[in-house]
Structure 1
C-alpha cells in the first residue's frame, strides 16, 4: 500500500462537499467493495458516515474524509 500522506491534496479547496464511493476508494487506495462491506456492517467507513441518496448512492463528506486521511478520525 502506498503512503497516502505524500499524495494528499486538500479536498475541500473545490466547490464539491462530497465524494462518491469510487472517488473515496481511489483516495484511500482500497477497493470500493471494501468500503461497501464496512458500510453494510457498521453504517460507516472508519467513522465516516455517508449521506444515502434516494437513488441508493452514497455521498461521503469531504471534511470527514480529510480527517480520516490525516489520521485524526
Structure 2
C-alpha cells in the first residue's frame, strides 16, 4: 500500500499557474530581442547582451519547468 501511494505521489504534475507567466515572459524576451537586433541605426549592444542573458536564463528555467509537467 505504501509503494502504491509513493508511486502516485511521483506521477503528480508540478504544473502551477505561474508557469504560464514564465512562458509569456520568455516570448516577450524573444520579441524584444528581435526588435533590438532588427532596429535601424545604432544598435544598443548593452541591451542586446542583457536580453540575451535574460533569455538564456528563462529558456533554461522553462526547460526545467516543462520537464516536470
Which gives a bigger RCO, structure 1 or 2 (Cα 8 Å, sep 6+)? Answer: 2
Higher percent of residues as strand: 1
Going by fraction, where is helix more abundant, 1 or 2? 2
TM over 0.5: no
Q: Whose Rg is larger?
A: 2
Using the size of structure 1 for normalisation, the TM-score is 0.27
